[in-house]
């Protein structure tokens, strides 16, 4: 029996582990992860992490950061959570610095800060364009040093609970497909996002299939604001891989086929550094109106960095250059990069509050899989790395008080394991015939076509129906690989189930929300409708596994509703 079990070894899970062990030195703590910790998606974050350190602009403040975050969220963020995020930012960034994260520096030795979308000051701290990688390495080193125990390459199958309190998880070892129960008093879910459900048009690692959210949903827990998926403006044309906002932060331009910096028509003040929802919509509009470039791999817009010069690109954007060369055959020092928007980030997630507690006793949620609602309807670049640090730390802190009150609950391990073994055995039944690759491609296609950047009733209804049909077909899915050693076919089927269950929440939430707000843009309801829709969506499964939607009020208190212009 563990005192604290953390599922997920990205930045959120590792910070939680570090803080938990620090605050509860006697506690038995372990981390479960389906990949080796340094391979978690946090390592792919390029651009940086926001904190009002005021190293560049002396007049930057926590209040300005909070306001930018709330405005960026299109006023759907819970304001207590957003305020906590920004208040803690300088503290966690300095803590990371002290732990050894090699931040880029200004000539005076202070942490360098670059401009980022939707922010009024230069407050994004970075390590060249490898910020997430360096943060994750730093945290992993520290977690190992502090003696955190790891279950690497174990796949979460279920969350076990009784009488409204969780008592452990069931996992599968990827090495030998053995299913086992891990009882624990407290569980911190930190399994990352779900934007990979858009499959071909996503910047996410293949494993960002929303496993923690899927498992929580099936355990009866509500998911918040799932319809809000962020499309990042600059994915590489062919692969959808990300070109970080840092490229525009350093001065990159977006150009249409007339050679115009078209952002002047959409965000005259902020230009390319408008918030992501706005810039992505602007790019789609240019393409729709025939002002994009055409190619066999689809229409695109150009991101021009050539005027920045070789020295700056090599010093601050080296990884972006490598990606552009490897995946598009384009060297950004010499020519513009072909880009178009790509599904990037999950604003929605496991419903929790600013303390990271969920509705289930003993269950906490942090990072991209959670929705304490700091991002509301649209996240600002640089605020997600911040979220995983701030709320990873918060979960560890909360457990200092909560752990003594959490009773060890017995768990019927045999029953729990057998239930999951029966579930896995289903995939091998002789009458099963549906193929993983077919269902997964169709899921990505219908989401991209019907639940994308621009949405309207007809398409959304089609998306809802097609996802329902895919979920039905999933009941007959076949795992063709019978081996027990690193059976990636089996693992990907399990991931597909999570993505399909969450896709039902995303599409139904999007169809229900008859307004435009942040990343959710309805062509049939182009205005924000505060009278009817200034509220969170909560999606739950009923006993038949169908999505039921309800609502929750938004916590206000700092900044009143205002029109959002840039």
Ligand X SMILES: Cc1cc2nc3c(=O)[nH]c(=O)nc-3n(C[C@H](O)[C@H](O)[C@H](O)COP(=O)(O)OP(=O)(O)OC[C@H]3O[C@@H](n4cnc5c(N)ncnc54)[C@H](O)[C@@H]3O)c2cc1C
**Residue 275 sits in the site that holds ligand X (CB under 6 A):** no
Q: Which residues contact 471 (CB under 8 A, 6 or more apart)?
A: 500, 501, 504
Query: Smallest gap, in angstroms, from Cβ of residue 216 to ligand X?
Result: 12
CA 2 to chain centre: 27
Stretch that binds ligand X, among 29-37, 320-328, 428-436, 438-446 (CB under 6 A): 29-37
Stretch that binds ligand X, among 21-29, 31-39, 58-66, 310-318 (CB under 6 A): 31-39
| Choice from 240, 349, 367, 463 touching ligand X (CB under 6 A) | 367
Residue 210 or 362 having the CB closest to ligand X? 210
Residue 9 or 360 having the CB closest to ligand X? 9
Contact code string over 42-61 relative to ligand X, x by CB under 6 A:
x-xxxxxx------------
Give the DSSP H or E segment for 324. Answer: helix 318-328
Stretch that binds ligand X, among 142-150, 184-192, 288-296, 423-431 (CB under 6 A): 184-192
**Residue 249 sits in the site that holds ligand X (CB under 6 A):** no
Q: CA-CA distance, 141 to 359, in Å (whole number)?
A: 33
Site for ligand X in 59-88 (CB under 6 A): none
Contact between 66 and 558 under an 8 Å Cβ cutoff? The reply is: yes
457: tokens are 């009733």
Q: CA-CA distance, 464 to 234, in Å (whole number)?
A: 27
| Choice from 5, 17, 29, 35 touching ligand X (CB under 6 A) | 35
Query: Smallest gap, in angstroms, from Cβ of residue 379 to ligand X?
Result: 8
Beta bridge partners of 405: none
DSSP assignment of 101-164 equals ----B-TTSSBPEE--TT-SS--EE-STT-HHHHHHHHHHHHHHHTT-EEEETEEEEEEEEETT
Contact code string over 448-477 relative to ligand X, x by CB under 6 A:
------------------------------
**Residue 133 sits in the site that holds ligand X (CB under 6 A):** no
DSSP assignment of 39-78 equals GSGGGG--S-EE----SS-TT--HHHHHHHHHHHTTT-S-
Give the DSSP H or E segment for 522. Answer: strand 521-522
Q: CA-CA distance, 61 to 207, in Å (whole number)?
A: 37
Stretch that binds ligand X, among 20-28, 33-41, 218-226, 328-336 (CB under 6 A): 33-41
Residue 76 or 499 having the CB closest to ligand X? 499
Q: CA-CA distance, 280 to 555, in Å (whole number)?
A: 28
**Residue 132 sits in the site that holds ligand X (CB under 6 A):** yes
Site for ligand X in 185-224 (CB under 6 A): 190-193, 203-204, 208, 211
Residue 265 or 488 having the CB closest to ligand X? 488
**Residue 32 sits in the site that holds ligand X (CB under 6 A):** yes
- The catalytic position among 114, 123, 237, 276 is 276
Contact between 188 and 13 under an 8 Å Cβ cutoff? The reply is: yes
CA 551 to chain centre: 22
**Residue 131 sits in the site that holds ligand X (CB under 6 A):** yes
**Residue 365 sits in the site that holds ligand X (CB under 6 A):** no
- How far are the Cα atoms of 171, 470, 505 from residue 480, in angstroms, in the given order? 21, 19, 29
- Contacts with ligand X: how many residues (CB under 6 A)? 45
Pairing relationship of beta strands 154-162 and 113-114 according to DSSP bridges = unpaired
Known catalytic residue at 105: no
Residue 7 or 479 having the CB closest to ligand X? 7
Indicate the residue whose CB is closest to ligand X. 10
Site for ligand X in 491-510 (CB under 6 A): none
Residue 344 or 520 having the CB closest to ligand X? 344
**Residue 372 sits in the site that holds ligand X (CB under 6 A):** no
496: tokens are 């597909």
Residue 176 or 264 having the CB closest to ligand X? 176
Residue 192 or 292 having the CB closest to ligand X? 192
| Choice from 286, 368, 466, 501 touching ligand X (CB under 6 A) | 368
Q: Around 161, how many Cα atoms within 13 Å sit in the side-chain half-sphere?
A: 20
**Residue 40 sits in the site that holds ligand X (CB under 6 A):** yes
Q: What is the DSSP letter of 271?
A: G
Q: Please classify residue 98 by burial: count the beta carbons closer than 10 Å to its beta carbon, then call 0-12 exposed, 13-18 middle and 19+ buried.
A: exposed
Residues at the interface with ligand X (CB under 6 A):
7-13, 32-35, 37, 40-42, 44-49, 131-132, 155-156, 190-193, 203-204, 208, 211, 242, 244, 345, 367-369, 381-385, 388
What is the set of active-site residues? 276
């Amino acid at each position: 029996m563990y005192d604290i079990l953390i599922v997920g070894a990205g930045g959120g899970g590792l910070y939680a582990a570090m803080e938990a062990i620090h605050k509860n030195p006697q506690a038995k703590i372990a981390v479960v992860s389906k990949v080796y910790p340094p391979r978690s998606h946090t390592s792919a974050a390029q651009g940086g992490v926001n904190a009002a350190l005021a190293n560049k602009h002396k007049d930057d403040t926590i209040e300005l950061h909070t306001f930018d975050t709330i405005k960026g969220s299109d006023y759907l963020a819970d304001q207590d959570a957003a305020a906590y995020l920004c208040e803690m930012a300088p503290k966690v960034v300095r803590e990371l610095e002290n732990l050894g994260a090699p931040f880029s520096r200004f000539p005076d030795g202070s942490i360098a800060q670059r401009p980022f979308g939707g922010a009024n000051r230069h407050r994004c701290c970075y390590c060249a364009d490898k910020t997430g990688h360096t943060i994750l390495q730093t945290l992993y080193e520290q977690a190992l040093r502090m003696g955190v125990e790891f279950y690497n390459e174990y796949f979460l199958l279920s969350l076990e609970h009784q009488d409204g309190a969780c008592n452990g998880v069931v996992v599968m070892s990827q090495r030998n497909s053995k299913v086992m129960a891990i009882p624990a008093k407290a569980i911190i879910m930190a399994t990352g996002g779900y934007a990979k459900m858009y499959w071909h048009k996503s910047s996410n690692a293949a494993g960002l299939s929303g496993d923690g959210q899927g498992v929580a949903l099936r355990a009866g827990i509500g998911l918040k604001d799932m319809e809000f998926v962020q499309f990042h403006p600059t994915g590489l044309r062919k692969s959808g891989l990300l070109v970080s906002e840092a490229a525009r932060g350093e001065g990159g331009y977006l150009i249409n086929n007339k050679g115009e910096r078209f952002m002047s028509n959409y965000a005259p003040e902020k230009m390319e550094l408008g918030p992501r929802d706005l810039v992505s919509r602007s790019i789609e509009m240019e393409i729709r109106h025939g002002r994009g470039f055409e190619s066999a791999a689809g229409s695109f817009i150009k991101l021009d960095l050539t005027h920045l010069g070789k020295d700056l690109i090599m010093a601050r954007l080296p990884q972006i250059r490598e990606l552009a060369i490897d995946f598009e055959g384009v060297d950004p020092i010499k020519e513009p990069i072909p880009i178009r928007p790509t599904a990037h980030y999950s604003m929605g997630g496991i419903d929790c509050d600013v303390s990271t507690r969920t509705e289930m006793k003993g269950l906490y949620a942090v990072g991209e899989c959670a929705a304490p609602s700091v991002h509301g309807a649209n996240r600002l670049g640089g605020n997600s790395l911040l979220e995983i640090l701030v709320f990873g730390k918060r979960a560890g802190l909360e457990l200092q008080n909560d752990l003594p009150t959490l009773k060890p609950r017995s768990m019927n391990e045999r029953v729990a394991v057998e239930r999951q073994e029966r579930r896995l055995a289903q995939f091998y039944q002789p009458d099963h015939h549906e193929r993983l690759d077919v269902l997964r491609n169709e899921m990505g296609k219908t989401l991209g076509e019907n639940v994308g950047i621009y949405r309207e009733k007809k398409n959304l209804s089609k998306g809802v129906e097609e996802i329902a049909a895919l979920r039905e077909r999933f009941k007959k899915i076949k795992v063709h690989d019978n081996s027990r050693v690193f059976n990636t076919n089996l693992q990907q089927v399990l991931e597909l189930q999570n993505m399909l269950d969450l896709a039902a929440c995303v599409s139904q939430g999007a169809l229900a929300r008859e307004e435009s707000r942040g990343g959710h843009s309805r062509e049939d309801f182009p205005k924000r409708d505060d009278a009817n829709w200034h509220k969170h969506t909560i999606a739950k499964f009923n006993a038949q596994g169908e999505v039921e939607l309800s609502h929750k009020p938004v916590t206000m208190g700092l900044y009143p509703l205002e029109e959002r212009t840039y």
